[in-house]
Structure 1
């Protein structure tokens, strides 16, 4: 069963030792679509995410994804550790960073434009056959071309 945003919000506020500035529901599940629950977590510094925080997240079923993310940490909660089918993803970014601003602006643009949301949904459907790494890369490319360059 997928967690709700409110459940994840409460968990993060109560769990992490480092100061969490904000916890924001982002991504397509905001619009009642199915998929991975994406949660933007804003912290003062990525270095504030200590080993203890990572252990606490592990205890809550979140595991750090270790591949090249630029200026963010990503933790996932899985339906199954065998299939690595994700149910929730934490996107941890620094406050006042370009990465945080881009996430917030992208979410705002998707909230304001049903046409843009539908374009993104159609694009994701068209790339759903890709392996996870290529799928995530293609989604990032779409955002870069359709949102970041429209600012």
Structure 2
């Protein structure tokens, strides 16, 4: 059975408490490597179109610190490694319904100061601070929503879109 996908305008305030609660749970994992975190994605930006999935960027000093031991502890919290072709980060989804493969939280674990880490931060910054880029991304989501059922095709188009934005805004201040 495929995951039920729907997008709507989101109010970021309704997700903030859930984000903070989840961070507290992750911080409480025994012997979890130290990390910083940021709420990213649609649930972090008011009036953004998206699914009701909280995206969390976890930044560690060394990506290899998240080894099998840490993965098992994340599994115990309901997180499962998400199959992807992304390099430089590991993603986990917190599954709420295994029958439908529905999830409500997605972790992106990246190594500090890598290009992928900087790109996550910079794209999130652009969405929050550049109205044109925000609107362009909202339009991209509307125009390509029908592809979400074929997530590989959607992800490929989304990644191309984001890469163009990141490369096109080289003059913007990177944080």
TM above 0.5: yes
Q: Structure 1 residue 103 and structure 2 residue 117: aligned?
A: no
Quick check: 1:18–1:50 contact (8 Å CA) kept in 2?
no
Q: Structure 1 residue 60 and structure 2 residue 77: aligned?
A: yes
Larger mean CA deviation between 34-43 and 87-96 belongs to 34-43
Quick check: 1:42–1:93 contact (8 Å CA) kept in 2?
yes
Q: Secondary structure at the match of 2:107?
A: strand
1:16 Cα deviation (Å)? 5.8
Q: Structure 1 residue 139 and structure 2 residue 158: aligned?
A: yes
Q: Structure 1 residue 150 and structure 2 residue 169: aligned?
A: yes
Q: Secondary structure at the match of 2:164?
A: helix
Q: Structure 1 residue 119 and structure 2 residue 133: aligned?
A: no
For residue 12 of structure 1, the aligned residue among 10, 21, 26 is: 26
Partner of 1:92: 109
Q: Distance in 2 between matches of 1:96 and 1:12?
A: 21
- Show structure 2 runs of 5+ residues with no match: 1-14, 171-175
Aligned length, in residue pairs: 150
Quick check: 1:102–1:148 contact (8 Å CA) kept in 2?
no
The runs of at least 4 aligned residues of structure 1 exceeding 4 Å deviation read none
**RMSD, matched Cα:** 1.7
Q: Distance in 2 between matches of 1:148 and 1:92?
A: 23
Distance 1:112 1:45, change over 3 A: same
- Show structure 1 runs of 5+ residues with no match: none
Partner of 2:99: 82
Say which one has the larger Rg. Answer: 2
Partner of 1:71: 88
